[in-house]
């Protein structure tokens, strides 16, 4: 099997260089691109890989690049990075099959963990299957907190619904975030939508 590679697509040359250096420092093969079109022209869907993709770029943005990959039948795990992670963008990214969404400036270890997880999926299951497996691993009580959380209810409202203390909800919320491998709430919402657990139009 060929050595897995990480495609890094970012129009910010400084960010691109530092990300490639970080990935190469742990022995990963990183291929840099400053535009979505240049990446698409070079992308080989038959080589094990994942994509680190900036959301906002001149010309073709990250979401359009993701759409183009799907249109070509190329099913590579996509990790979005963005300095502007608003909920609609996160929702659309996860619905289209993104496996993670990391906000800039990112923590180096968080990025590396996400990349290693994505490359692991290449050999085992697609991004959506991996997210569904995490959902299936939730305990009944974790699921009780997970569902209202992604629907937009506050910790206080969830505590009242479940007739438990806010402190208990805080505990289960942190366990849900860890088990689902979500570092922020928009990512958790995106996962729930991708798995069909909630509908975007029904969110509060």
Domain CATH number, residue 150? 1.10.10.10
Whether 202 is in a domain gets the answer no
Residue among 5, 11, 64 at smallest CA distance from 40: 64
Asked whether 158 and 149 are in contact (CB, 8 A), the reply is yes
pLDDT tens, residue order, the chain (204 aa): 467 899 999 999 999 999 999 999 999 999 999 999 999 999 987 778 999 999 889 888 898 999 898 888 788 889 999 887 677 778 778 877 788 888 888 889 999 999 988 887 765 445 667 778 888 888 888 999 999 998 889 999 999 999 999 999 999 999 999 888 887 887 888 888 878 887 665 555
User: What residues make up the domain containing 190?
Assistant: 133-197
- Alpha-carbon distance 184 to 188, whole Å? 7
Q: Is 62 in the same domain as 118? A: yes
For the chain, how big is the Rg over CA atoms in Å? 17
- Quick one: which H or E segment has residue 175? helix 166-179
- Alpha-carbon distance 43 to 48, whole Å? 11
Q: Is 104 in the same domain as 156? A: no
Question: What does the pLDDT read at residue 2?
Answer: 63
* Residues in Cβ contact with 140 at an 8 Å cutoff, skipping those fewer than 6 apart: none
Q: Is 178 in the same domain as 77? A: no
Question: What does the pLDDT read at residue 127?
Answer: 60
Question: What does the pLDDT read at residue 122?
Answer: 62
* End-of-domain residue from the set 124, 146, 164: 124
Q: Is 17 in the same domain as 40? A: yes
Q: Is 146 in the same domain as 118? A: no
- CATH classification at residue 70: 3.40.50.2300
Whether 203 is in a domain gets the answer no
Whether 40 is in a domain gets the answer yes
- Alpha-carbon distance 98 to 91, whole Å? 10
* End-of-domain residue from the set 86, 104, 124: 124
Q: Is 118 in the same domain as 139? A: no
Q: Is 21 in the same domain as 68? A: yes
| Total count of domains within the chain | 2
Q: Is 137 in the same domain as 184? A: yes
């Amino acid at each position: 099997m060929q050595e897995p590679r990480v495609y890094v697509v970012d129009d910010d040359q400084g960010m691109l260089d530092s990300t490639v250096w970080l990935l190469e420092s742990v022995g990963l093969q990183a291929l840099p691109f400053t535009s979505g079109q240049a990446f698409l022209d070079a992308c080989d869907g038959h080589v094990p890989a994942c994509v680190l993709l900036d959301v906002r770029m001149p010309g073709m943005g990250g979401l359009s690049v993701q759409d183009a990959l799907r249109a070509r039948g190329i099913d590579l795990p996509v990790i979005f990075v963005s300095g502007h992670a608003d909920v609609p963008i996160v929702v659309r990214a996860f619905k289209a099959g993104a496996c993670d969404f990391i906000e800039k400036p990112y923590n180096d270890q968080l990025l590396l963990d996400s990349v290693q997880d994505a490359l692991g999926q290449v050999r085992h299951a697609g991004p959506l299957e991996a997210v569904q497996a995490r959902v299936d691993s939730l305990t009944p009580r974790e699921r009780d907190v997970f569902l209202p959380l992604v629907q937009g209810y506050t910790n206080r409202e969830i505590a009242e619904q479940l007739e438990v203390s806010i402190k208990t909800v805080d505990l289960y919320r942190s366990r849900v975030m860890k088990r689902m491998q979500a570092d922020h709430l928009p990512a958790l919402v995106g996962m729930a939508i991708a798995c069909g657990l909630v509908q975007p139009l029904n969110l509060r």
